[in-house]
Amino acid sequence: LNDIDSEYKLISLIFSRCPIPNMCPAIIANNQYLSYNIKENIQFVIISFDHLYDRPEVLKRKYGDIEQGYSNIIFLSSYNNFNDLYKLTTQIDYGFWGVEENNIGHNNVIVLVDKNNKILNYYSGFEIDVNDIKKDIEDLIKN
């Protein structure tokens, strides 16, 4: 995250094999919507917490078209980076489980951070309104 040069970052966590349309696929769609509408001073960072399956090549195969179509969306793998993943998820109170058993579950947390990775806003729950996030980002960028 420190290598991403952007005034703001919106960080979301997913796993590529998520079978529930209103969870990880919805998070990705919401990031696409935000990226389409807000193109300056922000990077949309989508991190897979499936540190065993979602290797960089898996994410590239599944989401490479999105990265190419949206210049400010990036997908990151946690493969071989479990300690970093654990540190991040602990800091933002993101819970996930069952990766080793292939019975994955997780809560839903999205964070908006500044260029120093200071948390500016925290969104949690399964009814996050993407328009609230959009307004918050637009307000920050205006100031």
Distance CA 54, CA 96 (A): 15
For tokens 């094999």, the residue is 17
Query: What per-residue confidence (pLDDT) applies to 27?
Result: 94
- Amino acid identity, position 128: I
DSSP state of 84: H
pTM: 0.94
Query: What per-residue confidence (pLDDT) applies to 22?
Result: 86
Query: What per-residue confidence (pLDDT) applies to 1?
Result: 83
Q: Which residues contact 58 (CB under 8 A, 6 or more apart)?
A: 16, 77
**What phi and psi, each to the nearest 5 degrees, are found at residue 34?**
-65, -45
Nearest to 22 by CA among 130, 139, 114, 131: 130
Q: Where are the alpha helices (DSSP H) in the chain?
A: 24-37, 56-69, 82-91, 130-142
- Amino acid identity, position 28: I
For tokens 């210049």, the residue is 71
Q: Consecutive 10-residue runs of the chain (143 residues): their mean pLDDT?
A: 91 94 92 95 96 97 97 96 93 91 91 94 88 94 83
Q: How many other C-beta atoms can be found within 10 angstroms of the C-beta atom of residue 114?
A: 13
